[in-house]
Structure 1
């Protein structure tokens, strides 16, 4: 039996009442974090172009855009909301799978829930099961990155979540997953080149999931052997290398999506350990003017995406700043903090940060053989007065091993709300999500003002 059939059968048997209370609360917390990321993303570069596109295309008003409050077809709303959720690279991340599941899956689920006039409980259930699928399959993979697993695997979770909200039965749910396979795509070159396509891959994925479920609802069939077929996902995308037991272990009793991490810094997760180390050095008294040079050491997986220097002659775009360990560490050492404003065009010309970045080297830790791990990460500074200072991070900040406090989570949300393209009420949105399970109609949810 293909994994797709197992996931579909489990999802169609499952109800909101089956979710442990801790899973419900964690899912709401990740939804809040994702909504915050999308609110901040509403003012990011490239989003206005997506808005212009869906406005020009028009169509049946089925689902609402976060922040803007306009209604469009469900696939169009999922596209823009998914892009906004990932535009600042500030949405939750699942490190064992090296992916960001909540941005695309929540965007798909929200659009589907509005189209179906579903309840808050149904939305929570759909997000919990959609992220569980995507994270389980991501955890089962063993290779490094090339494909963007946020995109390739997110499509399956988005389709499952939307399918649940549309009330699909087992056979049509399998078809929805098969139709997601037909659309599964997305690559890491978008990150390497610092392009705006990176944020839109989250939107493409959300829209693909909604479309897959809508077509399956109308009887369009997809392949059954989605993951393990001769030309299924594992064979084509992962050269047949995966650990099946990681995808099915404790299915129905453990929800893997709640093992995700909340990002404390608005940039690529791959170098957050180095940022934490640099911030520790700053807190310990090290200042940019004290530093002769610095070396950042990253595991191979992190180095492949974030091992970018920030030097004269390099293309200095916001996208490159987000994925550059050189830039992020320079900001952390110079300022002792990393905030959303550090990743705006106006910040990229800061003389102190750029001068320090010229003195930072990024190295790959070749002693690390795990193709997926992001730790350890270290920063070593050589001081102008002599001597060195070193800090090493062995657990990523914001992870289940080093979780953010409730106060830090709320402060992050409010900082995101302050970057909204239009005024929003943080209090209304916080209250709506905290009480999400009491909402009878998602269409009435206060997420837009």
Structure 2
């Protein structure tokens, strides 16, 4: 049996009644975290501009809600905008073993499709779990480092599969049609890291397009279009070989139904690339323990894993950030903010902070290098060592094996709830508490409501 068929059978057979309670609770927290990250971005200028353009061209059908916009749109437009919002703040969840941001793809697809179809909260959660399990396994199958080092963005390349899985579950496709949906999702796999070269802000397009492509794949399968069952391993045009030199198809269905990858999600406390988080933790720890200020610092060296170096330590945008995208993918910038302000928040990625002379001066003292001991344990652990050389000759070091919010250093349920509440309050303050409680009890809903 092909790996794609194994996934399809799993999707068709999954019932919330047979899913452990701890997984169901984790699913609701994932939904809460993802909705918070998305709704919190609803008022951002880029989102508003894209939304205005798409409202004009999408037609007048009010199929589903566009989160935080107080508007409805045709199904695929709503999915597109909701998924785009989910990635805008760089606060969406991370499955580190596949390097995928699953929530920003799967949750908007499942919620919007469930709202459109009138599905129950229970059916919605089933779709979410299917999406997380499929997307994470496809991501792991690619081979995290090999896939990334070829320039592919796995949130997009694996994301089409996660969205297709969630949509297929809600559309109640049979096994054959689910195979086709996943096959067509794979033939639309895409997404590259080239945006880093000039700080382009189109990274948010990746989960948005992946969500729509996956949803469309399921709708096309429902309409009797067939997709390639061997999209992953075909000798001519197989996705894994085309996109990675380190792929492992055996990981796609490994422990399927026994081990839930949803239980291994990171929740991001800082609104920037996950590869900067261990260095932020290290900088804050040194600042708080030793009272280090900018005037004490001669130089800073960050030793980390190869992918973290490539994404956040070596590009021109990382070394000399100009745009908010540059700053969010800059270890020197985020370390400088941590030492200067004692925190790293959304406010620090505004243009006035990026151009702050004190920030510019300190980030130039930060040098990022690779170290094999961190590369060898990646992606299981996203670690670093930060070394501060002080003007008085002291050298202070701090190693972080796992960043805050990781599986090995998790946020509590209360912290995840507080994060979501704060983000939702930014957009819809009067309804924020009600939305949070509604999500945490979504399995009791007779129908998934508009947001």
User: Given that residues 310 and 327 in structure 1 are in contact (C-alpha distance below 8 angstroms), is that contact kept between their aligned partners in structure 2?
Assistant: no
Secondary structure in 2 matching 1:370: helix
Deviations 1:211-257 (A, max 9, x none): 11111111111112121222222122224x42333222221122212
Once the two structures are TM-superposed, the CA of residue 368 in structure 1 deviates from its matched residue by 4.6
User: Given that residues 147 and 243 in structure 2 are in contact (C-alpha distance below 8 angstroms), is that contact kept between their aligned partners in structure 1?
Assistant: no
Unaligned runs of 5+ in 2: none
Secondary structure in 2 matching 1:433: helix
Distance in 2, Cα, partners of 1:311 & 1:225: 39
Q: Does 2:218 correspond to 1:196? A: no
User: Given that residues 308 and 326 in structure 1 are in contact (C-alpha distance below 8 angstroms), is that contact kept between their aligned partners in structure 2?
Assistant: no
Query: Could you tell me which of 270, 276, 286 is aligned with 1:271?
Result: 276
Q: What is the match of residue 440 of structure 1?
A: 446
Q: What is the match of residue 364 of structure 2?
A: 358
Q: Does 2:404 correspond to 1:397? A: yes
Q: What is the match of residue 167 of structure 1?
A: 172
Q: What is the match of residue 348 of structure 1?
A: 354
Assess, with a 3 A threshold, how the Cα gap between structure 1 residues 90 and 369 changes in structure 2: closer, same or farther.
Answer: closer
Q: What is the match of residue 318 of structure 1?
A: 324
User: Given that residues 278 and 329 in structure 1 are in contact (C-alpha distance below 8 angstroms), is that contact kept between their aligned partners in structure 2?
Assistant: yes
Deviates more, 1:259-268 or 1:357-366: 357-366
User: Given that residues 144 and 372 in structure 1 are in contact (C-alpha distance below 8 angstroms), is that contact kept between their aligned partners in structure 2?
Assistant: no
Q: What is the match of residue 412 of structure 1?
A: 419
Question: Given the two structures, how large is their TM-score scaled by the length of structure 2?
Answer: 0.94
Distance in 1, Cα, partners of 2:430 & 2:268: 22
Distance in 1, Cα, partners of 2:35 & 2:229: 33
Once the two structures are TM-superposed, the CA of residue 289 in structure 1 deviates from its matched residue by 1.9
Q: What is the match of residue 246 of structure 1?
A: 251
Distance in 2, Cα, partners of 1:320 & 1:381: 23
Once the two structures are TM-superposed, the CA of residue 197 in structure 1 deviates from its matched residue by 0.8
Secondary structure in 1 matching 2:40: helix
Q: What is the match of residue 385 of structure 1?
A: 392
Distance in 1, Cα, partners of 2:155 & 2:7: 18
Alignment of 1:32-111 (within 5 A): 32-59=32-59, 60-111=61-112
Distance in 2, Cα, partners of 1:193 & 1:93: 24
Deviates more, 1:162-171 or 1:337-346: 337-346
Deviates more, 1:243-252 or 1:60-69: 243-252
Secondary structure in 2 matching 1:111: helix
Unaligned runs of 5+ in 1: none
User: Given that residues 2 and 227 in structure 1 are in contact (C-alpha distance below 8 angstroms), is that contact kept between their aligned partners in structure 2?
Assistant: no
Assess, with a 3 A threshold, how the Cα gap between structure 1 residues 379 and 310 changes in structure 2: closer, same or farther.
Answer: farther
Q: What is the match of residue 214 of structure 1?
A: 219
Query: Could you tell me which of 293, 296, 306 is aligned with 1:300?
Result: 306
Distance in 1, Cα, partners of 2:388 & 2:10: 51
Once the two structures are TM-superposed, the CA of residue 396 in structure 1 deviates from its matched residue by 2.2
Assess, with a 3 A threshold, how the Cα gap between structure 1 residues 8 and 311 changes in structure 2: closer, same or farther.
Answer: closer
Q: What is the match of residue 2 of structure 2?
A: 2
Assess, with a 3 A threshold, how the Cα gap between structure 1 residues 387 and 273 changes in structure 2: closer, same or farther.
Answer: same
Deviates more, 1:93-102 or 1:136-145: 136-145
Question: More helix by proportion, 1 or 2?
Answer: 2
Assess, with a 3 A threshold, how the Cα gap between structure 1 residues 144 and 283 changes in structure 2: closer, same or farther.
Answer: farther
Q: Does 2:187 correspond to 1:182? A: yes
Distance in 2, Cα, partners of 1:182 & 1:244: 17
Once the two structures are TM-superposed, the CA of residue 45 in structure 1 deviates from its matched residue by 4.1
Alignment of 1:122-137 (within 5 A): 122-137=123-138
Q: What is the match of residue 120 of structure 2?
A: 119
Once the two structures are TM-superposed, the CA of residue 423 in structure 1 deviates from its matched residue by 4.5
Q: Does 2:159 correspond to 1:158? A: no
User: Given that residues 157 and 191 in structure 2 are in contact (C-alpha distance below 8 angstroms), is that contact kept between their aligned partners in structure 1?
Assistant: yes
Secondary structure in 2 matching 1:98: coil
Deviates more, 1:347-356 or 1:62-71: 347-356
Query: RMSD of the alignment, in Å?
Result: 1.9
Distance in 2, Cα, partners of 1:376 & 1:202: 26
Once the two structures are TM-superposed, the CA of residue 37 in structure 1 deviates from its matched residue by 0.6
Assess, with a 3 A threshold, how the Cα gap between structure 1 residues 219 and 312 changes in structure 2: closer, same or farther.
Answer: closer
User: Following TM superposition, where does structure 1 have runs of at least 4 consecutive aligned residues deviating by more than 6 angstroms?
Assistant: 309-313
Once the two structures are TM-superposed, the CA of residue 312 in structure 1 deviates from its matched residue by 11
